[in-house]
Amino acid sequence: MTRQPLLARRAEELLGAAVAATSPVAGGDISTATRLRLSDGSVALMKTLPHAPDGFFEAEAAGLRWLAEAAGTQGTQGGVAVPDLLAADHDCVILRWVEPGKATADGAADFGRALARTHAAGAPTHGGERDGFIGRLPLPNRPAPSWAEFYAVRRVLPYLKLARDRGAVTAAQAARVEAVVPRLTGLVPEEPPARLHGDLWNGNVLWGADGRSYLVDPAAHGGHREVDLAMLALFGLPHLPRALDAYDEVAPLADGWQDRVGLHQLFPLLVHACLFGGGYGARAAEVAGRYA
């Protein structure tokens, strides 16, 4: 049994309960994750990040609360579950521990139906009341009157500029992406803003031993629901076809949505170009070339 004294004391301050033991949890790319065993026998997960950007954990906590509003309790027809948020402050968040399980085809179908209900919970506008983060990068959320405008000026163009500044895309590649922007209004059908997770890659879908799926690490905002689905496709959710079929049963997707998957993958590809360089900038340019 081990106990990191400083971390345990900080958790105790926020939870008002004694921490009996701590242990590291592998898998986080940004924050450090620690498993807490509390004196009452319950288990929690604490995420910390030294020198976190201002508002980093507050934005995560706000996103979790917003998604939780759409989530159902066990056995109800609600959205995707979210781990209980036990505490949050400028330096950490603490969540109720979810014992990991395995992804199954039936579980993926349940996830697809629940995600449709999360999206259907809606949002006041494209964007949000506060800016957030995508990874370590700031995520601008100032509202825009249409999804096409929001996607252009809050998602594609800011990260394209940052990728250029970091040398992750060439001038020619940037020009191919920019050529898509004037066409967005005609390419993407307008829909009421959906309640988006915002960073919905496979690693942010937690498959619980209780048979439920959970959403973690959100970059939540209002937007077009095809964005979440495109990101799931980009990074390979297990049993994705089952999930998408089940989603479409609950909330049928607009005609041609499969043809727009690449369009809505431009944003995560550019984010990855900013963060990791490599071939992500070239891939974004190749995808953009399909729509220009």
Average pLDDT, rounded, for the chain: 95
Residue 188's φ and ψ, nearest 5 degrees, are -115, 120
CATH classification for the domain delimited by 99-292, as one of 3.90.1200.10, 3.30.930.10, 3.30.70.20, 3.60.15.10? 3.90.1200.10
Residue 133: what pLDDT? 98
pLDDT digits (tens, 9 = 90+) for 12-61: 999 999 999 999 998 777 899 999 999 999 999 999 998 899 999 999 99
pLDDT digits (tens, 9 = 90+) for 170-193: 999 999 999 999 999 999 999 999
Among 84, 91, 199, 248, the active-site one is: 199
| Domain-wise residue ranges, the chain | 99-292
- Specify burial of residue 120 (Cβ count, 10 A radius: 0-12, 13-18, 19+): middle
How many percent of the chain have pLDDT more than 70?
98
- Specify burial of residue 82 (Cβ count, 10 A radius: 0-12, 13-18, 19+): buried
Q: Which residue type occupies 108?
A: A
Residue 292: what pLDDT? 80
- Dig out the tokens for 63 from the structure: 């996103």
Which parts of the chain are beta strand (E)?
19-25, 32-38, 43-48, 85-89, 92-96, 132-134, 137-139, 194-196, 205-207, 213-215, 221-223
Residue 1: what pLDDT? 54
pLDDT digits (tens, 9 = 90+) for 64-96: 999 999 996 555 579 999 999 999 999 999 999
User: How would you classify residue 133: left for phi > 0, otherwise alpha for psi between -120 and 50, otherwise beta?
Assistant: beta
In the residue annotation, 199 being an active-site residue is answered as: yes
Q: What is the mean pLDDT of residues 193-201?
A: 98
Of 285, 52, 18, the closest CA to residue 178 belongs to: 285
DSSP H helices, 125-209, are: 147-150, 157-165, 171-178, 184-187
- Dig out the tokens for 55 from the structure: 């508002």
Cβ neighbours around 206 below 10 Å, total: 20
Residue 29: what pLDDT? 76
Q: What is the 3-state secondary structure (H, E, C) of 107-142?
A: HHHHHHHHHHHHHHCCCCCEECCCCEEECCEEECCC
User: How would you classify residue 55: left for phi > 0, otherwise alpha for psi between -120 and 50, otherwise beta?
Assistant: left
Residue 79 DSSP label: B
Pairing, β 43-48 against β 32-38: antiparallel
